[in-house]
Structure 1
Amino acid sequence: MEFSKMFVQNMAVLVTFAYIANLIYKYAIYRTSGVVKYIGSVLLLIAGGWSATFFGFELSKGIIFDMRIVPLLIAIFVYRRPSVVFAVGLGIGLTRFAFGWTDAALAGFINLTILGMVGALLNVWFRRVDWSFFRQAVAAILFINMLNCINIAIFGVIPADEYMIHIVPYTLPTSILLCSFFAFILRDFQKDQHRAIELSELNQLLQQQTEELEKNKVILEDRAKQLQLASQYKSEFLANMSHELRTPLNGIINLSQFISDSAEDTTREDLARYGQLIFNSGEDLLKIINDILDLSKVEAGKLEIVKEEISLLEVPAWVGPHFGLVAEQKKLAFDTRVEEGLPHTICSDPQRLQQILRNLLSNAFKFTEAGKIELNIYKAEEPQLKGEWIVFAVSDTGIGISPEKHFTIFEAFQQADTTVSKKYGGTGLGLSISSDLARLLGGFIKVESAEGKGSTFALFLPLS
C-alpha cells in the first residue's frame, strides 16, 4: 500500500512540475526561435523525469521507485520524430546517474533506454494506424508499464520473484491508473493549446479582414466621390452642351427665318453677311459634333491612324492664316518658330496632328485676353524616355491653370473650373481628345502652367 501512496505523491509532483514547465515554456521559451523551442521542450521533459526521481520513493539505498515513465509517454504523443522520443528516454535514463553511480542506477538507465526505443517504435506505429487518441493512449500506457515491470525484473537489483510478488501488484495498477490520468490531462492541455492557436489564427484573420474592409471602405468612399463628381460633371456637361448646341442652331434657324421672311427687302450685302453668319454657325455646330464622334471612336478603339511623311516646315502654314486672323481680332501677338537643324520630315498622321494643334491653339486664344501666343517646334530628349522627340509647344499668357487641376483638365467633359465654361464657353472635350490622339500617335502631352501666369501645352511625338 505504501507503493500506491508513493506513486500518487510522485504524480502530484509531476503535475506541479508540468504546470511550472508550462509557465516556463509559455513565457520564456515560446518567444524564441523554432529550434530553441523544440530543444527547450525536450529538455523540460527530461527535467520532468529527473524531478520524478528526485521526489521518488527510496526503497533502500540506491533503489528508487517513481513515475519517471510519464514524461516518456508524453513524448510519444507530442513529437512526430521517433528519434526525439528515444532521446527523451535516453535523457531520463542518464539523469538516473545524478543520484549515484550504483547498480540500481545502471539498471534504471538500461530500462529507460529500452523504453525510449520502444516508445520510438510506438510513435511510428501510431502515425501509421488510424486509431483514436483513446485507443493509442490505452495501448501505450499498458505496453510501457508492463515492459517497465519486465525490465526491472530482469535488470533490477531486487530479486525478480520478490519484485513480481510483493511490489508489482501494487505499483503496476497504480502506475497504469495515474498514467491514464496524466494522459487525459495532456489531452485536455493539447485541446486548449489547439483552441488557443485557432483563436490566435482567427484573430489574425479577423485583423486582416478588418484591414481589408478599411481599405475597401476607403476605396468605396473614393469611388463614391468619383461617381458623385462624374455625375456632377455629366450634369454640367449636358447643360453646357445644350448651350453650345443651341447657340449655333438658334443662329442658323433665326437667320434663315429672317431671310425667308424678308428676302425681298434684304440687300445683297446683308444676304452675304447673313449667309456668312449661318456658315460660321454651321461650322461651330459641325466642330462640336465631330469632337463628340472622335471621342466615342477613341473610346471604342475604332479611330484609324494613317501615318505618312509630314514636312515640319509646312506645319506653321496649317495654322498660321486662321489663327493669325484671330490674333488680329483679339489684338494678340502670334508667332510660330521652327528650330534649325530639325529633320525635314517626320512620320505621323497629318490630319490628327493638325487637329491637336488646332485644339491647343484654340484654347490658348480663348483663355488669353492680352499678351502673346507662340507655337515652337523643336527637338528634345526626355530623361525618363528613350530616343529623341519632336515637340510642338503652344505657349500663352492667359489665365493659367492651378497645379492641382493639371490632371483633371485632360478628363472628358471637364474644365479647370465650372466658371471657366460659363465665361469662355466650350464643351471641355478638346484636351481630352487631343491627349487620346497624342497617345494613338505614339506621343503624349505635357502641361506647365500656374494660375494667372499663362500655360504651355507641349505635344511630344517620337522622331523615329
Structure 2
Amino acid sequence: MEFSKVFIINISILTTLTYTAMLIHKYLLHQASGVLKYALSVLLAIGAGWLTMVYSFDFGLDIKFDLRFLPLIICTLVYSNPIILLVIGVGIGAARLTFGLNSAAWAGCLNMVLLGVLCVVLNMLLKKLDWNFWAKITVVIFAVNIANCVNVVLYGTIPKEIYISQIVPAILPASILLSFFYVFMLSDFHLERRRVADVQIAHDSLQKQTDQLIETRKILEEKAHQLMLSSQYKSEFLANMSHELRTPLNSIIALSQFIIDGDKQEEGSEAAEYAAIIHSSGQELLRLIDDILDLSKVEAGRMEILSEEVIISEITYVMQHSFRHIAEQKELEFIIQEDPDLPALIHTDALRLQQILRNLLSNAFKFTAYGSVTLKVWKPEPGIEGMSGDWVAFSVMDTGIGIPDKMQEPIFEAFQQADGSISRKYGGTGLGLSISRALTGLLGGRLELTSTAGQGSTFTLFLPIR
C-alpha cells in the first residue's frame, strides 16, 4: 500500500510539472528559439526524475523506490535523436547521487544508465516499425519496468530473495499500471490541447474569412454606388449633350432655311448676320465633337504627343488674343502675369498645352459673372513634393462661383460637373476638365485645384521644362 501511495504522489508531481511546463512554454517561451526549447525539455525530463526521488519510498539504508524512469518512457517516443535518451538516463542517474554517495545510490545511478541504453535501443527499433502510438508505448512500458526490476535484482543492494518474493509482486504491477495511466493522461491532455488549437485555428480562419467578406461587401457596395453615380452622370451627360447638339443644329437648319428664302431679298447686313450665326453654331458643334473625339483617343491610348520648343510668351499672347473679346463682352478684367525669372522656352506639345489652357480659361470665364480672370505663369520653387528638376506652372484664377470641397476630385471625372443643373444654366458638357487632366498626364505634368465655394477657383498646371 505504501508503494502505491508513493507512486501516486510521483504521478501527481509529474502531472503538475508537465502542466506547468506547458504553461511556461505557451506564455513565456513561445518566441524562444528551437534549440533553447529543446535543451530546456531535456533538463525538464532530468528534473522530473530527480523530483520523483525527493518523494520516493524509503526502505532505509538509502534505498529508494519511485517512478524516476517514467520520463524515460515518455521521451523514448518523443525524441528523434536516441543519444538524447542516454543523456537523460545518465542525468537522472547522476541526480540519484545527490542524495548521498553510497552503494545504493551508485546502484540506482547504474540502473538509470542501463535503462537509458535500453531506451536508445527501443527508440531505434521502433522507428523502423509501422506501429501505432499505443502499441509502441506498451512495448516501452513493459520493457523499461521489467528491466528496472532485473537491474535491481542484479545490481541492487536489497537481498534478491526478499526483493523477488515480497517487493516485485507489489511494485511491478503498480508501476506498469501507473505508467499506462500517466501516458494516457498525458496523451489525452495533448489531444485536448490539439483540439483547442484546431478550434482556435478554425476560429481565426473563420474570423479572417468573415473580415474578408465584410471588406469585399464594402468594396462591392462602393463599386455599386460608383456604378450608380456613373450611370447617373452618363445619363445627365447624354441629356446635356443632346441639348447642346440640338441647339446649334436647330440654328443651322432654321437659319439655312432663312438664307434660302432670302433669295427673294436683297443682299444686305441681315444675310451676313445669319451667316455669322451659322458659322458660330457650326464652330460650337465642332468643339463639342472635338472634345468627344479627344476623350476617346486618350482613353484608347491613341493620342499622339509632339514634343517641341514652345515660347512661353507666344502661349500667353494666343490666350490673350483668344479670350480678350469674351472678357470685354462679360465686362471682366482679364489679367496675364509672367514672372521675370521664367525660361524663354519649354519643351512640350504646344497644341495640347493651348488646349488645356483654353479649357481652363473657358471654364473660368463661363463661371465668373463679375471680377476678374487671371492667367499667371510662374516658376515653382525646387523640391515640391513629387516633382524633381525644373518646372513651370500655369495658374488660371477666377472670382467665380467656386467648387465645393466634396466635388473637387469628382469634377475631373468624365461626364461630371459640380452640379448637374450647372449645364442648364451655363452650358457645356463637363468634359473639359477630364480632357485637361488626361492631356496633362500625357505631357508629364499634373493639374491641381484649390477652390472655395462662392469665392472662385485656381487651377494650376505644372509642366516640366524639359
**TM-score (structure 2 length as normaliser):** 0.89
Aligned 1:139-218 pairs, distance under 5 A: 139-160=139-160, 163-164=163-164, 167-168=167-168, 171-218=171-218
Provide the rounded CA distance (Å) in 1 between the counterparts of 2:207 and 2:338: 62
Q: Residues of 2 paired with 1:422 and 1:126: CA distance?
A: 90
Asked if structure 1 preserves the Cα contact closer than 8 Å seen for 2:108 and 2:156, the reply is yes
| Aligned residue number for residue 440 of structure 1 | 442
1:107-128: CA deviation from partner (whole Å, max 9, x where unpaired): 1122113323443454455456
- 1:264 and 1:10 map into 2 onto residues whose CA distance is 134
- 8 Å contact 1:6–1:56 — kept in the other structure? no
Check conservation: 1:311, 1:345, Cα contact below 8 A.
yes
Is the partner of 2:379 in helix, strand or coil? strand
**1:165: Cα distance to partner?**
5.8
1:436 is displaced (CA, Å) by: 0.7
Judging changes above 3 Å, is the alpha-carbon distance between structure 1 residues 253 and 7 closer, same or farther for their aligned structure 2 residues?
Answer: farther
Which residue of 2 is the match for residue 381 of structure 1?
Answer: 381
State the match for 1:228 in structure 2: 228
SS of the residue corresponding to residue 393 of structure 1 reads strand
Partners of 1:412 and 1:125 lie apart in 2 by 77
Pairing of 1:85-96 with structure 2 (within 5 A): 85-96=85-96
Change (3 A) 1:381 1:125: farther
Indicate if the aligned counterparts of 2:7 and 2:175 stay in contact, CA closer than 8 A: no
Q: 1:409 aligns with which of 408, 411, 428?
A: 411
**How far apart, CA to CA, are the structure 1 residues paired with 2:158 and 2:302?**
101
Tell me which residue corresponds to 2:28. 32
What is the identity, as a one-letter code, of the residue corresponding to 2:212?
E
Aligned counterparts of 1:42 and 1:230: Cα–Cα separation in 2: 68
Tell me the equivalent position of 1:112: 112
Which is worse superposed, 295-304 or 331-340? 331-340
> What is the deviation of 1:29?
5.2
The 2-side partners of 1:323 and 1:114 are apart by 106
Structure 1 unaligned residues grouped into runs of 5+: none
Moved more, 252-261 or 396-405: 252-261
Give the corresponding residue for 1:316. 316
Amino acid in the other structure paired with 2:294:
D
> Which stretch of structure 1 is more off in the superposition, 452-461 or 20-29?
20-29
Deviation at 1:46, TM superposition (A): 4.2
How far 1:427 sits from its partner (Å)? 0.9
Overall identity of the aligned pairs, in %: 45
Structure 2 residue 447 is the aligned partner of structure 1 residue 451: no
Q: CA deviation at 1:32?
A: 0.5
Shift of 1:304: 0.7
For 1:426, what is the secondary structure of its paired residue? coil
What residue is the counterpart of 1:426 in the other structure?
428
2:16 is the counterpart of 1:20: yes
Structure 1 residues 82 and 405: CA distance shift in structure 2, 3 A:
farther
Worse overlay, 225-234 or 253-262: 253-262
Task: Give the aligned partner of residue 240 of structure 2.
Answer: 240
Q: CA deviation at 1:289?
A: 1.2
Stretch of structure 1 that moved more, 40-49 or 298-307: 40-49
Partner amino acid, structure 2, of 1:370: Y
2:331 & 2:125 partners in 1: Cα distance? 101
Q: Which amino acid aligns with 1:254?
A: A
**For residues 204-235 of structure 1, what are the alpha-carbon distances to aligned partners after superposition, in whole Å with 9 as ceiling and x for unaligned?**
22233333333333323322222222222222
1:337 aligns with 2:337: yes
Tell me the CA shift for residue 57 of structure 1: 3.7
**How far does residue 168 in structure 1 lie from its aligned partner after superposition?**
4.0
Please give the secondary structure, in 1, of the residue aligned with 2:27. coil
- 8 Å CA contact 1:72, 1:119 repeated in 2: yes
Normalising by structure 1, what TM-score? 0.89
CA distance in structure 1 between the aligned counterparts of 2:274 and 2:80, rounded to whole angstroms: 99
Q: Mind listing any 5+ residue stretches in structure 2 that lack a counterpart?
A: none
Partner of 1:289: 289
C-alpha distance in 2 between matches for 1:316 and 1:173: 108
The equivalent residue for 1:307 is: 307
Alignment partners' CA distance in 2, 1:122 and 1:16: 27
1:37 deviation in Å? Answer: 6.4
1:349 to partner: Cα distance: 1.2
C-alpha displacement of 1:182: 2.9
User: 1:29 touches 1:40 (CA, 8 Å); kept in 2?
Assistant: no
Matching residue's letter, 2:411: I
TM superposition shift of 1:272: 1.6
Give the drift of 1:367. Answer: 0.7
Asked whether the equivalents of residues 402 and 449 of structure 1 are also in contact (C-alpha less than 8 Å), the reply is: yes
| C-alpha distance in structure 2 between counterparts of 1:343 and 1:52, whole Å | 92
User: Between Structure 1 and Structure 2, how many residues are aligned?
Assistant: 460
CA RMSD of aligned residues (A): 2.8
Distance 1:10 1:70 in 2: 14
Distance in 2, Cα, partners of 1:339 & 1:59: 108
Q: CA deviation at 1:167?
A: 4.4
Q: Show CA shifts across 1:336-368 (max 9, x none).
A: 233334333222111111111111110111011
Moved more, 220-229 or 306-315: 220-229
Report the more deviating stretch, 407-416 or 341-350.
Answer: 341-350
**121 and 263 in structure 1: CA distance in 2 versus 1, 3 angstrom threshold:** farther
- Mapped to 1, the partners of 2:49 and 2:309 lie a distance apart of 93
Assess, with a 3 A threshold, how the Cα gap between structure 1 residues 118 and 237 changes in structure 2: closer, same or farther. Answer: farther
**1:399 partnered with 2:395:** no
Contact conserved, 2:10 with 2:55, CA < 8 A, in 1? no
